[in-house]
Amino acid sequence: MGRGDLSNAEWVRLEPHLPAPGLRGGRWNDHRRVINGILFRVLTGIPWRGLPDRFDSWKTVYERHRRWSADGAWDRILCAVQAGADLAVRIDWSMVGVDSTSCRAHQHAAGARRKKPRVPKKRTAPRHHRPGEGLGRSRSGLTRKIHLAGEGGRKPLAFLITPGQWGAAPRMIEVLERIRVPRPRGGHPRTRPDHLGGGKAYSSRRNRRHLRRGQIKHTIPEPKDQRANRKRRGSKGGRPTSLDSDICKRRNEAERAINRLKNSRAVATRYGKRAFVFHGTVMAAAIRLWLRP
């Protein structure tokens, strides 16, 4: 068993959720070996052509990853793995945190051809396909930003990937709407946490109104300017935000989930040109975290 390979217990949890081979392609190469190759590349960030020979042809590994990224297979696998974790009571819904992080993009990530990604006709393209391949430009160069909602066990629940210059607060609602954990025994998918924590960047009227309508308790500190504005308005400014010290201590769990995710070098730095392939890379890294005990 090599570095980053799935253990037998992890493979047992993952195998039932993998897509079946296509009708035209016949039998696939060793499924487990190819997936280990994908996870090895996600962990180390090496070029696809540099994959060791024990993972079959590099082109086979890359094509499998590209196709699953394009048709949303990685998203469905992550959803199924999360459903199994929820059934085993391994998701801590008591506190879900939101946070974002910037990821540098390699210089070779720019310059993709301006054409739509190839997606099977019978399936719709995921929502993360964006014009311009989602690259942002700043003083530090090309960047991308990952907006994340993580559960109390420091594992990611939902993502949103945007250009690096996009703000965090306007994306919070969209990230929360992507939390959708099915219940295999029946019932509506779980979409709401018991409590939400976030930094001052997420403090806005729009976000707080959305959380109140969804009856989601939240701990989001107010910046100084918002506190001063509320005091100037007097009784019309509303009540001050109360913060529970025990809850505040847990607001770093989302940051720790991001740190675990960015231990994968292909997530910390984007090397590919296509936005949907990078999205699949982040999903594969998240699935790897959920498979661990």
Residue 174 sits in a domain whose CATH number is: 3.30.420.10
Return d(Cα 74, Cα 250) in angstroms, integer: 29
Any domain includes 130 = no
Any domain includes 1 = no
Going by pLDDT thresholds of 50, 70 and 90, the confidence category of residue 116 is: low
C-alpha torsion angle, residues 61, 149, 263, 57 (rounded to 10)? 0
Any domain includes 131 = no
Q: Which residues pair with 146 in a beta bridge?
A: 101, 161
Any domain includes 124 = no
Any domain includes 2 = no
Range of the domain at 147: 8-112+137-291
Question: Is pLDDT larger for residue 78 or for residue 237?
Answer: 78
Phi and psi at residue 57, in whole multiples of 5°?
-70, 135
Name the token pair of 164.
């690096």
Asked if residues 148 and 142 have their Cβ atoms less than 8 Å apart, the reply is: no
Return d(Cα 290, Cα 205) in angstroms, integer: 34
Q: Is 144 left (phi over 0), alpha (psi -120 to 50) or beta?
A: beta
Burial class of residue 141 in the structure, from the number of CB atoms within 10 Å of its CB (0-12 exposed, 13-18 middle, 19+ buried): middle
Mean pLDDT check: name the lowest of 21-30, 71-80, 194-203, 248-257: 21-30
Q: Does 126 score more than 50 pLDDT? A: no
Any domain includes 123 = no
C-alpha torsion angle, residues 97, 69, 288, 13 (rounded to 10)? 110
Any domain includes 168 = yes
Going by pLDDT thresholds of 50, 70 and 90, the confidence category of residue 23 is: very low
Domain count, the chain: 1
Going by pLDDT thresholds of 50, 70 and 90, the confidence category of residue 129 is: very low
Any domain includes 57 = yes
Percent of the chain with pLDDT over 70: 86
Asked if residues 144 and 134 have their Cβ atoms less than 8 Å apart, the reply is: yes
Place of tokens 């993009």: 105
